[in-house]
């Protein structure tokens, strides 16, 4: 492979950013100075090509330092890593975080997604538009930032040698204007959790999330000790008997997954913690990572021990800088205290919802575009780098700690027959006390909303979006649905990621539906036709349907939406396309645009 670079040299700063990750170049072939020996030696081969997974970290370093990725910078990175520039360009342009045109060092990302919309994000955006011009340069609109309990939310980024990235929530017009004029931003603090019994969340607020000693004082690393006593088979047996189901959205039996990886003959095995929580309205994994990071690391250690994984990755979404720092600190401390006998690499997402899909996440770790792979083969056989891989969501993993310590029977005593344990729900939107709530599986939606203080005074419920953008709308009549996997399935809904966005009569359902349609259009990876074009057509037709005067929508347009929905559900490669029409279909029923079945 001949890497041709014609874009001119990188700037000193760009080189420093790349070299900061890769070390100094050793020869002309890597873009360094010319030595006489270079005329006779060629670098390349497997050793160079195997550096491909470093592409995203390198791109992050450039983006952090300079604020955008120029052609010179990208080509220098390509030379260092032996990656064809055309492929690397495909990667840069895939992720929303990387810019290929020059931008100011300072950027404010303002969330205008569902929960923030309910909290006045649109008004905030129009004020900013008024003061600083349309979104795109100094300030940008962003999909959900996972700070829905403190909506409206924003993320400040300042590129430079000392790169800064800070979540600001709640954000006001005054704060946003101050930040954009170069001023300071207020310290943003986690919301105190509601005062009620907690299992999974019991350490939150009680421990210092930056200290392993504090974690150990509160029962930390008891589970790992117990796991070693049980042995790998024993741990898998407990997890299987606890009937733990995955909390990421697909509800796959965790024990079965662990067993498959443990028994996979191919080596090495990888463990990946999926912390790319990007479902609009979801922030449970962020809270766990920010406030109980050692639990995540300990659970990963147990999972790796049980399934024989030699290397771990924790893929945390790019918009969670604090969670990333806390997890990195936790890993370092665990290493220093001898609690970690394998490597966990923290990988940073770059603004792509699709990377929460497990196989897209693998591709992203491998330094490629985050395009999902076709399944089968499943990750337990052919996963990261083509090897057997255990992928679990943060919440799923943290559940394992209690299963190991208390035993499967005690764990399964909570919840329902088919959905054991407790579940974290992220309440946002028009409720009195938005936040993270832990309830036993099977609690009704009505009870959950009451826990959060119910609606504001004098308001009536319009709908609840259960499971985020990939979930569906639940009506007032369905509020008594038990929140368990089987309970929600019975009414055609899903628990999904645990997002519960409550909409009262002040919410503009049409705008909400259009935002969801835009979300999927923006976040489709573009690989398969049903999703790439289907999400675009869905948004276009939805605009037509919703702008028609009441009850005047053409039945042909309604049919179109149904047709597109079915093709996306049936023929898309991954879950994004398969669920991209759920919320919209159920929302149209809610709006009485589409007749309810039966």
Q: Say whether residue 560 binds other proteins (CB under 8 A).
A: yes
Q: Which of the ranges 46-54, 271-279, 325-333, 539-547 carries the binding residues for other proteins, by CB under 8 A?
A: 539-547
Instruction: Give the relative orientation of helices 534-547 and 509-523 as an angle to the nearest 10 degrees.
Output: 160
Which is closer to other proteins, CB of 88 or CB of 124? 88
Query: Which residue of 301, 428, 494, 535 would you call a contact of other proteins, by CB under 8 A?
Result: 535
Q: Say whether residue 555 binds other proteins (CB under 8 A).
A: no
Q: Do 72 and 347 meet the contact criterion of CB atoms below 8 Å apart?
A: no
Query: Which residue of 3, 16, 135, 479 would you call a contact of other proteins, by CB under 8 A?
Result: 3
CB of 362 to other proteins, least distance (A): 16
Q: Which of the ranges 32-40, 242-250, 257-265, 557-565 carries the binding residues for other proteins, by CB under 8 A?
A: 557-565
Q: Which of the ranges 131-139, 257-265, 388-396, 555-563 carries the binding residues for other proteins, by CB under 8 A?
A: 555-563
Q: What are phi and psi of 98, to 5 degrees?
A: -85, 135
Q: Work out whether the CA dihedral 573, 578, 580, 585 comes out positive or negative.
A: positive
Structural tokens at position 234: 């024993």
Q: Do 272 and 312 meet the contact criterion of CB atoms below 8 Å apart?
A: yes
Q: Say whether residue 42 binds other proteins (CB under 8 A).
A: no
Distance, CA of 462 to CA of 150 (rounded, Å):
21
CB of 124 to other proteins, least distance (A): 26
- Window 64-103: residues binding other proteins (CB under 8 A): 71, 74-75, 84-90, 93-96, 100
CB of 49 to other proteins, least distance (A): 12
Q: Which residues pair with 390 in a beta bridge?
A: 271
Q: Say whether residue 50 binds other proteins (CB under 8 A).
A: no
Query: Which residue of 110, 171, 223, 352 would you call a contact of other proteins, by CB under 8 A?
Result: 352
Q: Give the DSSP letter string of 209-258.
A: TT-HHHHHHTTTTHHHHHHHHHHHHHHHHHHHHTT-B-TTTT--BHHHHH
Q: Do 270 and 243 meet the contact criterion of CB atoms below 8 Å apart?
A: no
Query: Which residue of 191, 202, 459, 532 would you call a contact of other proteins, by CB under 8 A?
Result: 532
Distance, CA of 496 to CA of 578 (rounded, Å):
13
Q: Say whether residue 157 binds other proteins (CB under 8 A).
A: no
Q: Say whether residue 222 binds other proteins (CB under 8 A).
A: no
- Window 202-221: residues binding other proteins (CB under 8 A): none
Instruction: Give the relative orientation of helices 254-263 and 293-307 as an angle to the nearest 10 degrees.
Output: 50
**Burial of 417 by CB count in 10 Å (0-12 exposed, 13-18 middle, 19+ buried)?**
exposed
35 contact partners, CB below 8 Å, separation of at least 6: 27, 28
Which is closer to other proteins, CB of 40 or CB of 46? 46
Which is closer to other proteins, CB of 129 or CB of 570? 570
446 contact partners, CB below 8 Å, separation of at least 6: 479, 480
Q: Say whether residue 541 binds other proteins (CB under 8 A).
A: yes
CB of 387 to other proteins, least distance (A): 19
Q: Say whether residue 240 binds other proteins (CB under 8 A).
A: no
Distance, CA of 125 to CA of 136 (rounded, Å):
12
Alpha helices in 104-194 (DSSP H): 114-118, 121-132, 173-180
CB of 507 to other proteins, least distance (A): 27
CB of 368 to other proteins, least distance (A): 10
Which is closer to other proteins, CB of 90 or CB of 183? 90
Q: Say whether residue 544 binds other proteins (CB under 8 A).
A: yes
- Window 500-529: residues binding other proteins (CB under 8 A): 521-529
Q: Do 112 and 121 meet the contact criterion of CB atoms below 8 Å apart?
A: yes
CB of 252 to other proteins, least distance (A): 13
Which is closer to other proteins, CB of 67 or CB of 312? 67
Q: What are phi and psi of 453, to 5 degrees?
A: 85, 5
Q: Which residues pair with 502 in a beta bridge?
A: 429, 464
Q: Say whether residue 44 binds other proteins (CB under 8 A).
A: no
Residues counted in the chain: 598
Which is closer to other proteins, CB of 279 or CB of 285? 279
Which is closer to other proteins, CB of 74 or CB of 169? 74
Q: Taking Cα atoms as reference points, which of 533, 528, 471, 521 lies closest to residue 499? A: 471
Q: Which residues pair with 311 in a beta bridge?
A: 270, 343
Q: Which of the ranges 49-57, 266-274, 428-436, 532-540 carries the binding residues for other proteins, by CB under 8 A?
A: 532-540
DSSP 3-state assignment of 302?
Answer: helix
Number of shown-chain residues binding other proteins (CB under 8 A): 56
DSSP 3-state assignment of 23?
Answer: coil
Q: Say whether residue 28 binds other proteins (CB under 8 A).
A: no
Q: Say whether residue 35 binds other proteins (CB under 8 A).
A: no
Which is closer to other proteins, CB of 344 or CB of 573? 573
DSSP 3-state assignment of 419?
Answer: coil
Q: How far is CA 270 from CA 317, 343, 383, in A?
A: 19, 10, 8
538 membership: H or E segment, kind and range: helix 534-547
CB of 94 to other proteins, least distance (A): 5
Question: Which residue do the tokens 């000392």 mark?
Answer: 162
Q: What are phi and psi of 489, to 5 degrees?
A: -60, -35
Q: Say whether residue 385 binds other proteins (CB under 8 A).
A: no
Which is closer to other proteins, CB of 287 or CB of 557? 557
Q: Say whether residue 358 binds other proteins (CB under 8 A).
A: no
Q: Give the DSSP letter string of 466-508.
A: ESGGGSEEE-GGGTT-B-SHHHHHHTT---TTSEEEEEETTS-
CB of 285 to other proteins, least distance (A): 23
Q: Say whether residue 546 binds other proteins (CB under 8 A).
A: no
Query: Which residue of 403, 567, 580, 584 would you call a contact of other proteins, by CB under 8 A?
Result: 567
Q: Say whether residue 563 binds other proteins (CB under 8 A).
A: yes
CB of 308 to other proteins, least distance (A): 25
Q: Do 91 and 52 meet the contact criterion of CB atoms below 8 Å apart?
A: no
CB of 532 to other proteins, least distance (A): 6
Q: Which of the ranges 20-28, 272-280, 473-481, 561-569 carries the binding residues for other proteins, by CB under 8 A?
A: 561-569
Residues lying near other proteins in the complex (CB under 8 A) are found at: 1-4, 6-7, 71, 74-75, 84-90, 93-96, 100, 352, 369, 374, 376, 521-530, 532-537, 540-541, 544, 556, 560, 563-564, 566-567, 569-573, 578
């Amino acid at each position: 492979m001949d890497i041709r670079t014609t874009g001119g040299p990188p700037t000193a700063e760009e080189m420093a950013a790349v070299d900061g990750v890769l070390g100094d170049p050793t020869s002309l072939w890597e873009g360094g100075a010319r030595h006489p020996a270079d005329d006779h030696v060629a670098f390349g081969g497997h050793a160079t090509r195997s550096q491909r997974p470093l592409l995203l970290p390198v791109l992050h370093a450039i983006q952090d330092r300079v604020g955008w990725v120029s052609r010179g910078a990208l080509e220098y990175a390509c030379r260092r890593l032996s990656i064809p520039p055309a492929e690397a360009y495909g990667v840069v342009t895939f992720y929303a975080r990387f810019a290929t045109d020059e931008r100011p060092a300072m950027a404010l990302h303002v969330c205008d997604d569902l929960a923030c919309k309910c909290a006045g994000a649109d008004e905030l955006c129009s004020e900013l538009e008024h003061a600083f011009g349309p979104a795109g340069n100094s300030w940008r609109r962003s999909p959900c930032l996972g700070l829905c309990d403190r909506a409206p939310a924003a993320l400040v980024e300042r590129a430079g040698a000392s790169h800064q990235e800070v979540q600001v929530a709640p954000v006001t017009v005054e704060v946003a204007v101050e930040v954009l004029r170069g001023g300071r931003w207020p310290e943003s603090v986690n919301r105190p959790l509601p005062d009620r019994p907690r299992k999974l969340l019991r350490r939150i607020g009680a421990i210092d999330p930056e200290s392993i000693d504090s974690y150990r004082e509160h029962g930390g690393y008891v589970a790992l000790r117990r796991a070693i006593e049980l042995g790998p088979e024993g741990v898998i047996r407990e997890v299987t008997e606890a009937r733990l189901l995955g909390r990421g959205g697909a509800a796959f039996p965790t024990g079965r997954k662990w067993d498959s990886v443990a028994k996979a003959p191919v080596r090495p095995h990888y463990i990946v913690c999926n912390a790319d929580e990007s479902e609009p309205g979801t922030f449970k994994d962020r809270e766990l990572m920010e406030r109980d990071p050692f639990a995540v690391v300990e659970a990963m250690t147990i999972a790796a021990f049980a399934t024989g994984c030699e290397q771990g990755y924790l893929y945390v979404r790019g918009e969670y800088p604090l969670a990333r720092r806390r997890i990195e600190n936790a890993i370092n401390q665990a290493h220093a205290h001898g609690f970690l006998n394998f490597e966990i690499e923290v990988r940073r997402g770059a603004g792509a919802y699709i990377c929460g899909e497990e196989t897209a996440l693998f591709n992203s770790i491998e330094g490629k575009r985050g395009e999902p792979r076709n399944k089968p083969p499943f990750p337990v056989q052919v996963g990261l780098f083509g090897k057997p891989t255990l992928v679990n969501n943060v919440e799923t993993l943290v559940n394992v700690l209690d299963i190991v310590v208390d035993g499967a029977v005690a764990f399964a005593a909570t919840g329902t027959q088919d959905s054991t344990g407790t579940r974290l729900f992220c309440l946002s939107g028009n409720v009195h006390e938005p936040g993270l709530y832990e309830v036993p599986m099977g609690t009704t939606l009505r009870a959950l909303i009451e826990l959060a203080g119910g609606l504001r005074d004098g308001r009536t419920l319009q709908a609840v979006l259960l499971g985020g953008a990939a979930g569906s709308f639940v009506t007032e009549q369905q509020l008594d649905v038990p929140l368990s996997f089987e309970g929600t399935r019975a009414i055609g809904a899903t628990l999904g990621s645990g997002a519960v966005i409550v909409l009262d009569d002040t919410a503009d359902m049409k705008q909400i539906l259009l935002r969801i349609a835009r979300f999927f259009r923006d976040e489709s990876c573009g690989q398969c036709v049903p999703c790439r074009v289907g999400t675009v057509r869905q948004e276009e037709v939805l605009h037509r349907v919703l702008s028609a005067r009441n009850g005047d929508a053409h039945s042909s347009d309604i049919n179109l939406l149904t047709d597109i929905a079915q093709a996306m559900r049936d023929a898309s490669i991954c879950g994004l396309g398969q669920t991209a029409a759920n919320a919209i279909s159920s929302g149209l029923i809610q709006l009485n645009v589409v007749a309810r079945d039966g």
